[in-house]
Amino acid sequence: MSLKVGEIITFERTFTTEDVELFTKISGDEGIHHLTPDEQGRLVVQGLLTATLPTKVGGDHNVLARTMNFEFIRPVFIDDTITCEVTIEQFEKQDNRTRITASFICFNQQEKEVLRGSFTGVIL
Taking residue 27's Cβ as centre, other Cβ atoms within 10 Å add up to 12
What average pLDDT is seen over the chain? Answer: 92
Report the pLDDT value the prediction gives residue 4, as an integer from 0 to 100: 93
Domain ranges of the chain: 8-14+52-123
- Report the top-level CATH class of 8-14+52-123: alpha beta
Q: What is the pTM of this model?
A: 0.89
Q: Is the pLDDT of residue 124 over 80?
A: no
Residue 92 pLDDT more than 80?
A: yes
Strands of the sheet with 63-72, listed across from one edge = 8-14, 81-94, 97-107, 113-123, 63-72
Q: What percent of the chain has pLDDT over 90?
A: 73
DSSP SS3 for 35: helix
Tell me whether strands 113-123 and 97-107 are parallel, antiparallel or unpaired: antiparallel
